[in-house]
Structure 1
Amino acid sequence: MQVYLVGGAVRDALLNRKVVERDYVVVGATPEKMLSQGFTQVGKDFPVFLHPKTQEEYALARTERKSGKGYTGFVCDASSSVTLEEDLLRRDLTVNAIAQDNYGKLIDPYGGKKDLENRVLRHVSEAFSEDPLRVFRVARFATRYAYLGFTIATETMALMQSMAESGELSTLSAERVWQETKRSLLEKTPHVFFTVLNQAHGLNDWFTELESNLDTALASLKTAVDLEKAENESFVKDTSSETPLPESSDSETARLITRFTALLSHLGEEDAKQLCSRLKVQNQVSEIVILACKFKDFLLTMQNSPADLLALFNGCDAWRREERFTLLLSAFAPYAHSKGVDWQEQQKRIENALAAAKQVNVQDIIATGVKGPEIKDALNRAKLSAIASITD
C-alpha cells in the first residue's frame, strides 16, 4: 500500500500558491484494508475515504471507462492492481496529473511540471472528451491562472470545441455548471471564463442569451472587478493597513451577486429569468439580477419622475425588502458606470427618495377616514408627494 499526494495540492505548491486542501491517492489497497486502519468511506461511485485524524480525502487508485452520456456515465475499476500511472492518466489536465510521494519526489508521467513552467493547460489523453464537465473546468482553471499567463493548448481547445459541438454539454446538470460558473465569477479575472467558453463554442447550451452581446456583458463584468479593486485599495489606504480584512461568506455572496448582475444587466427581464432558471441559480442571486434587468431604465435615468421612482420602489418591494433593494443598488453600480452614469449621485437620489417615502405613515392616512381599497391609493399619493418634495 502506497500513498501519494495528488492534484491541486501538488500543482499549487509548484506555482507557489497557497495550498487549501490536500487529496491523496492510495495504490495497492482495498476498501477493507482502509476501513481496518480507521478510515471512513464516503464515496458512493468509487472508494473515497476520510483520514481518521485529518479528515483529508484518500481515494483508491482507479481507472474509468465511458459507459453512457454525461459526466456520470462511467464504470470505475478501483482494484488493488490499478497503478499510479493509470490513475493519473484518467485526470483532466497534465498539471493536475502530478503526484508526490512521502519523500517529496514528483511522479509526473505526462509532463505536467513542464506545462506548469510553460504556463500551458493541456489535456492528459483523448479520454478528456468523455467528460463534458471538463470544458467548464478548463475554463475555470484558465480563469484562475490567467494572472500567471496561462493559456490553453491549441489541441485542447480543439477538443473542447469538438465536445461542445457534439451536444454533450447539454447532458450536464445545472448544479454542476452553476458551481463551475460561481467559482469562476469569484476569481480575479472572471471574464476569462466566458471568453474561453465562447472560444470553445460552449456558450450555446447554458448561456445562449449572452452570445449576441458578449462584449457588452464582459465590459460590465470587468467594470465590477475594477470598482472592487478601487474600493479595496481605498480601504487599505484609509486604514493604513497593508492587507484587507479577511472576507466573510456574506461579502463573498455580495461579490457574486454584483458580478453576476453586472454580467447580465444588459439582458431583458425574460432572458435573465430564462438563464437563471436554466442554471438553477439560487434565489438570493437571481432575484437581484432579474430586478436589475427589469428596472434598469428607471435606475439609469437621472431625472426620472416621482411616479417612476414610486413604481421602482413598489416593483422592488423596497418597503418590506429594503435590504434587498440596497443590495440591488450596489449590484447595479458596475452596469451604470459602464453606461457613463454618475451612479454615486444617482444612488444618493434614489435612496433619499425612498427615505422620504418611508416617512409616510399609513395609520395617519386611515385616521383621516379613508377606508378599504382607497387606502392604497391614498398611500401612494402621499408617497408621491413626499418623493416630489425632495426631487423637484
Structure 2
Amino acid sequence: MRLTTLMSAPAVTVAPDAPLPEAARLMADTGVGCLPVVASDGHLLGVVTDRDLAVRRAAPGGDPPAEVAAVMSAPAVTVDADGTVDDAYRLFRRTGVRRLPVLRDGRPVGVLSVDDLLIDALRRFADLLAPVSGSVLREDGGRGFRSPAPSVPSPSAPVPGGPDSPVVGDVMGRALVAVGADAPFREVVDLLRRWRTGSVPVLAGDGRVVGVVSEADLLRAQDPRVTGDPPHLTARRLMTAPALTVRPGTALADAARLAVNRHLRRLPVVDAEDRLVGSVHRADLLAAVGRDAADLADRVRFALLAAVHPEAFSRLSVRADGGRVVLDGRLPPGLGAAEAARLVRTVPGVGAVDVTARPDAPAPGAAHGGER
C-alpha cells in the first residue's frame, strides 16, 4: 500500500521566518498538529508541531522565541512519497516521532501520522477487537462519554471484569496527575512538561473531572484572537469540556475504539460520581485487547500487527495448534525469520514457533528455512 493513500494532503506548510502566533493560527484554522517548514523554493527545512508551539514556546526563562525557525525540529524525519507502509512503520518504530512529512523531490506533499496507520490497521483487523461488550459508548447529556449502566446479567452471560470480559480497571494506571480548575496557565504547561504527557484532566473542588487540557488547547490559548492574554488564563478557560472519560468497568474493546476514533492517546478513568481514579493509555488498551483474544492465532496476529504493520497480513498466514504456531506465506520486507520467531515467542501461550514463510523480496541465491 502506498503512503499517499493514507496521508493527509495537501501539506499545510509555513515559512521559517513566520511569527509563532501566525503558525499557531494556521494550525488552529486547519486542524493540523504538524507544519512542514519550507524554504522559498518549497524544499523542506524542518517541522514544527503543536507541542513545539504549545510547550517550547511557553518555556520559562528569557525572551520567548518569535519565529518558527527558533522552535522547529531540523533536520526532519521524512518518508518518500513513493515509499510504502513498510517504510513508514520502520521510521516510526526507530525514531519515536508521531508524524512524518511525505516528500516528493524534496518538497512536502502531505503528512502521515501514527494515527493514520493505526486507524487503517484497526479497520483491516477489526475482528481482533471482537467480540465487544453489550455496552456502547454514548454521549449522555453533555457529561461526556460513558458506558451505560450494566443490565442484570443472565446466568450464562460473562461476568463483568471476569476472564471473559476484560475491562479498563484491569490495565489502568492509578497515578493521578491532574490540575485544579483554577490552576494558572504556567502551572499547566509545567505539569505537561514535567510528566511528558500530552494532556491532563481538570478537576473541580470535589475531585470530579470537568474537562481536559491538551497540547492543542494550549496552542489555541496562544492565539490572541481567541483568548487574549494566555499567561492570565486558568485551566477552566483552557480546557476542552466535557471530558471524554471511561469507567473502570468499561470493556477494553469499547475504550480502545473510543481512543482510536477520537484520536486520544490517554483517557481519564472516573468512578460513578465522575471522580478521577486513574488513567489508561491507548497503547495499553490495544495491547490488552490483543492479549485477551480467545484464540492464540489472533493473539499472534495482533502482536505482529503492533510490531510490524497491517501489510504483513495480506501475505502472511498464521496457524496455531495447541501452543505451536506456524508462520507461512510471505514475510514483509525487513522482517527476517529469526526476528519473526522472537516476536511470536513473546505472546503468552506460545510454546514453539515454525517460520516457513519466505521474505517478500528474496535476494538472489538466498536460502530460506524454518526457525524454531
**TM value normalised by structure 1:** 0.23
- Structure whose residues are more often strand by fraction: 2
Say which structure, 1 or 2, has more relative contact order (CA 8 Å, 6+ apart).
2
- Structure whose residues are more often helix by fraction: 1
**TM value normalised by structure 2:** 0.24
